[in-house]
Amino acid sequence: MRTTPLYGAVQDDLSRVEAVFDEIKKVDFGPLSEMLGMVLGGGGKLMRPGLALLCGRFGTYDLDRLVSLAASVELLHTATLVHDDVIDRADTRRGRPTVNSAFENSTTVMLGDFLFAHAANRAVETGSLRVVQLFSETLMIMARGEIRQDLAAYDSRQTIRDYLARIGGKTASLFATACEGAGEISKQPEEQVSALREYGYNFGMAFQVVDDILDFTGDEEEMGKPVGSDLMQGTLTLPSFLLMERSPNGNPVEAYFKAPSPEKLQAAVKTVRESGAVEESSQMAKDFCGRAIDALSALPDTADRETLAELARYVLDRHS
């Protein structure tokens, strides 16, 4: 059990980021206000904003500009989730109703666009052209990762290399941007900025691998989604790939993709759990976590650095 705040010295400063979201929700159009309340209603861990603020403490801690960066990356993340829910036709996310479960898909897409616009505006508020460029490049990388995933749905010919490229684009790139952008805003030496980006990227890779493991091993109530959700959407993740490597000539995952059914999904999840693929996936997550912590050696040895290391270790132990 943790006895210290998850984000150490910046824990209280995260309220400034939440205040940005509260301000965005104050629109004079009822349906839009309702939709914003559904997606910006709180309850998340604010992992990306927390990292952004922490990484800014290794230079000049300009809280106003760092809050703009932190809000920007979280709004970008939220916008992509809104669009993901439309693509996946998801009724719930983390146990809460999605916007597209209450409104038309076309309206929900426009909500995502509204959030993208706000995210871009907050990036501009940082006053850093480099951050704005990072924002636009990251959005392109994330969109490419989503396209890669959508076009490969139910395609068992993919490889682990394809998977790593996909999660590097969809997930790790935004963590990297949050950390690198903070280094830039706080006027840190280029060596430290590069180290922060390396930390953020590997942190994000570990985060996504753990997320994909939990899709097979997690508790449905705690996660707020059914076990095996990725397979249900036709998405192959690391545990599935490792199982397919062990059994290339037919396995329950391929059988499910060829003719989806609840019984075949249950068989695929059970086989993945019992195959050793979960343990091997966990080791890969640990490897990414280790790389993230190693990158921190370029930073001053402070309590903030230890908090970043603790956060990387926390990612390995999370259950939702």
- For 279-292, the pLDDT digits (tens) are 999 999 999 999 99
- Looking at residue 105, its pLDDT comes to 87
pLDDT tier at 1, thresholds 50, 70, 90:
very low
Lowest mean pLDDT among 38-52, 196-210, 263-277: 38-52
Structure tokens at 286: 């640990």
Residues 6+ apart with CB under 8 A from 299: 58, 192, 195, 196, 305
Contact yes or no for 108/100 (Cβ under 8 A): yes
Contact yes or no for 184/149 (Cβ under 8 A): no
Q: What is the pLDDT of residues 246-274, one digit of tens each?
A: 887 778 999 999 999 999 999 999 999 99
- Looking at residue 4, its pLDDT comes to 64
pLDDT tier at 139, thresholds 50, 70, 90:
very high
Domain boundaries, the chain: 8-317
Q: Which CATH superfamily is domain 8-317 in?
A: Farnesyl Diphosphate Synthase (1.10.600.10)
**Kindly report the CA angle at 72 between 67 and 77, in degrees rounded to 5?**
130
Q: Kindly report the average pLDDT of the chain as a whole number.
A: 93
